[in-house]
Structure 1
Amino acid sequence: MNAFDTLLPRPVTALATGGALAVASPSAVATPSTVVIDPGLSPHSEAYRLSITPDGVRAVAVDAAGAAHAARTLRQLLGPDAFRAADIRGSWELPCGEVADHPRFAWRGVLLDVARHFLPKSSVLRFLDLMAAHKLNVLHLHLTDDQGWRLEVPAFPRLTEVGAWRKGSWTGRQPDGDPTHDGRPHGGFYSTADLREIVAYARERHITVVPEVDVPGHSQAAIAAYPELGSTGEPVEVWHAWGVSEHTLAPTRAVIDFYKTVLDHVVDVFDSPVVCLGGDEVPTGRWRGEQAAALGLESVEAIPGWFLRTLGGHLAEHGRRTLGWDDVMDHAGLSPGVLVASWRGEKAGTAAAVAGHDVVMCPEQHVYLDHRQSEHPDEPIPVGFARTTEDVYAYEPIPAELPEDAHHRVLGAQAQIWTEHLDSPRRVDYAAFPRLAAFAEVVWSAKELRDPAGFPRRLAEHHLPRLDALGVEYRAPDGPRPWQRRPGVPGRRR
């Protein structure tokens, strides 16, 4: 059993399958529209078996998530028309055979950045449907950053009254310090009711929403709303630029108390056992030595770790674990239970796993889906590393350098969709697909069962028609379609 199975318990209760299949007890007689829940089917969570004969379909699953996967696989076998149908009950032709399946990793995630460019609730719900269709089960929702605060916190209304809105945005990657922007106001936020609906919608699809509230860097939007949170106390605006803002949170008890209140609200809204506190790319230039000394720290470089330990301890009191970007490995005194998201490469993730930390692999060199998909001049957003669908399919989440006795520390992997250059759901579609389909197979299938030579054919013949049926505006294998072409300029995330 993967270690993450214990972090995301899913009771065997109701099953959301769009009306395709119903749950029955192990003793029930299976009909073509029944999934039998049998915990003894497999030692693997989310496992299922489909038996297709001339007499009908029999499905057995180890738990409710497995039953949902069985229904999704059945839809795949039925073809694109089943993706258009609200209900697949009726007369369909299926090939006879048996499918026995279970996921390789328990954390099969996608980060969706709604802080840089806001996505309406309906778009997030649609994205959850697309995740479910690909058997992905963790949505890492990046809710706060320098460019926007998207999380309503009733105790602090200015976080969304002020922090959720900016005067404009950089178009492309301008030189650091360039004050220009496009002059188009941008903003939006999710009410508490919106977020509860997102969490419930995800739960029905056996997806866990992991919220992220960044500290102590990537916090300029919060500081714009409440200047006293900032390291200098000076008024600032919500940032219009990309990159790394120099404005950081003040290392004071008052700021900690503020964020404890924020996190109290977060854990009330989100049922995830994991909450991300960021901890990455933290400039130390605006902190003073005496501030560190007042906290009993040797230097300002120790302040980010103090933030993570203090607020992580508060989350632990709520029974939640902290997820941090791999920069947290640079901080002394990292708490033992912190999960590490390895984004700068695989080295930090390997070191974290060897040190006894659970790890989610998300290296920018392989699974940053906002990065360009080719070197072709028609590529609309030519940022980051050029990574094709085939490149993503070739990714292996277990680093070659990781000792075998630490393999279990890799909970899984996560594709990243940062939205500095993705300003609409259509742009998200283009960046995500079909590369996200390749990633979904990477985190689901055993390494030895993956088929690099056959994947492009299967994608073109079978899966792209499904994406067409779902209305996904993916990047065509031969390049951007005419309406997807738009000039861009080089740049990088964060």
Structure 2
Amino acid sequence: MRMSVTGVVMALTVTLSSAAVSASSPNPAVSTVKGAVPLTSVVPQPVSIRTANGVAFDLKQSDAIYATRNSSDAKDAANFLAGLLRVPTGYPLKVRDVPAGAKPRGIVLSLGGKNAVTKKEGYRLDISRNTITIEADDRSGLFNGVATLRQLLPVKVERKQQMPGPWRVQGGTIDDAPRYAYRGAMIDVGRHFLPKPDVEKYIDTVARYKVNYVRLHLTDDQGWRIEIKSWPELTKVGAESGAGGEGGGFYTQEDYKEIVRYAQARGVTIIPEINGPDHTHAALASYPELTCDGKPIEPYLGYPKSDEGVLCLDNPTTYEFMDDVIGEVAALSPSPYFAVGGDETFGRTKEQLDTYFAKIAKTVEKHGKKPMGWMEAAGSLPAKDSLTEFWVPGINEDQIIASAKAGSKVIMAPAMYTYLDQKYTETYPEYPVGQTWAGPTSVEGSYDWDPEGQLEGLPASAVGGVESTIFTETVFGINQMENLAFPRLLSVAEVGWAKASSHDWKKFEPRLAAQGPRLREARVNYYLTPEIDWPLGS
């Protein structure tokens, strides 16, 4: 009799506890409702998951998407979600206003009020039979919640055509917030130009995984990719070239503004990057007066860094030029940061770099932005409010640590883990593109690292985030770019979002595998690596 009572109590306890899952628990990707995606399949790993057994929300044609009244941020997130859902469902899904805290039938995006979310960019996603509620205290939190909901809807939500229902979501609650404030992706359009629709497609894909910054590497030795009205030869001459003589082109200022708006509509901020004082051959070929001797140079079509692509630091025209360029691009960019390059400054003295970056930082600040530079610029950029990016061990490390202790934040992008232009493997014939100087890098390799363990002596509190980068010397077009970036970018996204205690490849691999059918439906040309046990439909 005692054993029977104990068994009943245990059964009731399990039923009533709603199958709670935390980041440190096993990852059984099981839904308790037929046709629903398990809450435990999300990438990046949420902080806390509680599945409600037997509960599901079914989206109906009569449903609406509700946004907190008088909140443009909530309405922006609601409009994005409605736009995502209308085509595959065929439902009208009108966007309506409600008071903060209201929970009518449908999907509710609630900003502020008495929400339980207090961490920046955090959100609570609550799914009941009648209502899906995303609560957050800031715009980013709402978009992060929408990104999670997008993964919990059926895979067919990614179709660009109407599909039959049901549109079911497993019941439960997810409480979530990021480990780091900066979770970036860099696209090099300088070596080879990437047309605006392809940039937007890449942005849409990374936004699914809570990447919140996309840095556009707009200029390099091989090409200048942004219209500057006060220096028109930059796009008449400098934009015509590309690595190997291919991949020319540029964005008009209107193109660039459209990219910025497209990203903002998905909760992503575009950071512009104008290189200097090296990697500037395309600018010098356009304007010989930027060189030290005033002599014209031919456009550069090579693959490595150009020896001639160095700004003359004693030339006053250099700083007039940078002021005009930074001013025009900053005016188009709502980003708080402006990237000024600074990598591979071989042959420059510390005094030269200090002088150059002091002037450039003042220019950036004059135009309302905070400077961001590669690790070689650490110590030369002012520490307060600046970002420096770590990309390889052994360069300027003492200056990085000193700058970080003085207030600079360090973005971790170690090439051996996060440079997505590195090949997956040297042995497969399908990789004529990509490089191996820091690789090859497997998917597991792109996951198996800790941002706070890359530089001895760097305070953990100085790590501001992570960034996955893709340089395009040997990458030609969006198909090759996607194949190199995905699925490894998902690894870096998880490293930047999920708390360290949840880091476990064996638990990450099945969640990553579940993204295969979604990427396929979205027509993303990802690599079907044999490391992953991909499900049917991948």
TM-score, scaled to structure 2: 0.76
- Tell me which of 508, 524, 532 is aligned to 1:455: 508
| 1:60–1:31 Cα change, 3 Å | farther
Are 1:371 and 2:422 matched, yes or no? yes
- Residue correspondences, number: 440
Residue 284 of structure 2 aligns with which residue?
223
- Tell me which of 445, 459, 462 is aligned to 1:391: 445
In structure 1, what is the Cα distance between the partners aligned to 2:401 and 2:144?
Answer: 31
Contact 1:328 1:334 in 2 (8 A): no
Residue 28 of structure 2 aligns with which residue?
none
Residue 261 of structure 1 aligns with which residue?
324
Are 1:27 and 2:79 matched, yes or no? no
Map of 1:125-274 to 2, 5 A cutoff?
125-166=200-241, 169-170=243-244, 184-247=245-308, 248-251=310-313, 252-274=315-337
SS at structure 1 position matched to 2:169: coil
SS at structure 2 position matched to 1:165: coil
In structure 2, what is the Cα distance between the partners aligned to 1:441 and 1:118?
Answer: 28
Residue 520 of structure 2 aligns with which residue?
468
- The Cα of 1:228 is off from its aligned counterpart by 1.0
SS at structure 1 position matched to 2:229: coil
In structure 1, what is the Cα distance between the partners aligned to 2:172 and 2:155?
Answer: 20
SS at structure 2 position matched to 1:471: coil
In structure 1, what is the Cα distance between the partners aligned to 2:118 and 2:108?
Answer: 22
In structure 1, what is the Cα distance between the partners aligned to 2:234 and 2:175?
Answer: 48
TM-score, scaled to structure 1: 0.83
- The Cα of 1:429 is off from its aligned counterpart by 0.5
CA distances 1:191-248 after superposition (whole Å, capped 9, x unpaired): 0100111111111111111111111110000000001101332211221112222221
Contact 1:217 1:249 in 2 (8 A): yes
Structure 2 letter corresponding to 1:475 = Y
Map of 1:45-56 to 2, 5 A cutoff?
45-56=120-131
In structure 1, what is the Cα distance between the partners aligned to 2:454 and 2:288?
Answer: 46
SS at structure 1 position matched to 2:356: helix
In structure 2, what is the Cα distance between the partners aligned to 1:456 and 1:419?
Answer: 28
- The Cα of 1:330 is off from its aligned counterpart by 6.5
CA distances 1:235-280 after superposition (whole Å, capped 9, x unpaired): 1122111222222111221221111011110111111111111112
CA distances 1:305-362 after superposition (whole Å, capped 9, x unpaired): 222110110111222111110011365x755443211112387354542343111111
- Tell me which of 104, 111, 114 is aligned to 2:189: 114
Structure 2 letter corresponding to 1:110 = A
SS at structure 2 position matched to 1:413: strand
Contact 2:125 2:174 in 1 (8 A): yes
In structure 1, what is the Cα distance between the partners aligned to 2:368 and 2:189?
Answer: 26
SS at structure 2 position matched to 1:17: helix
Residue 61 of structure 2 aligns with which residue?
none
| 1:352–1:155 Cα change, 3 Å | same
Structure 2 letter corresponding to 1:371 = Q
Are 1:321 and 2:378 matched, yes or no? no
In structure 2, what is the Cα distance between the partners aligned to 1:79 and 1:432?
Answer: 24
| 1:118–1:57 Cα change, 3 Å | same
- The Cα of 1:155 is off from its aligned counterpart by 0.7
Contact 2:191 2:247 in 1 (8 A): no
| 1:100–1:451 Cα change, 3 Å | same
- The Cα of 1:479 is off from its aligned counterpart by 8.4
SS at structure 1 position matched to 2:453: coil
In structure 2, what is the Cα distance between the partners aligned to 1:425 and 1:432?
Answer: 10
In structure 1, what is the Cα distance between the partners aligned to 2:140 and 2:162?
Answer: 19
- The Cα of 1:459 is off from its aligned counterpart by 2.0
SS at structure 2 position matched to 1:127: helix
| 1:211–1:325 Cα change, 3 Å | same
Unaligned runs of 5+ in 1: 1-9, 171-183, 286-299, 481-494
Moved more, 351-360 or 215-224: 351-360
In structure 2, what is the Cα distance between the partners aligned to 1:328 and 1:98?
Answer: 44
- The Cα of 1:159 is off from its aligned counterpart by 0.3
Contact 1:433 1:474 in 2 (8 A): yes
SS at structure 1 position matched to 2:388: strand
| Percent of paired sites with the same residue | 32
SS at structure 1 position matched to 2:318: helix
Structure 1 letter corresponding to 2:76 = A
SS at structure 2 position matched to 1:100: strand
Structure 2 letter corresponding to 1:397 = P
| 1:447–1:221 Cα change, 3 Å | same
Q: Please identify the structure whose Cα radius of gyration is greater.
A: 2
Unaligned runs of 5+ in 2: 1-71, 86-92, 533-538
Residue 14 of structure 1 aligns with which residue?
76
Moved more, 21-30 or 418-427: 21-30
In structure 1, what is the Cα distance between the partners aligned to 2:162 and 2:264?
Answer: 20
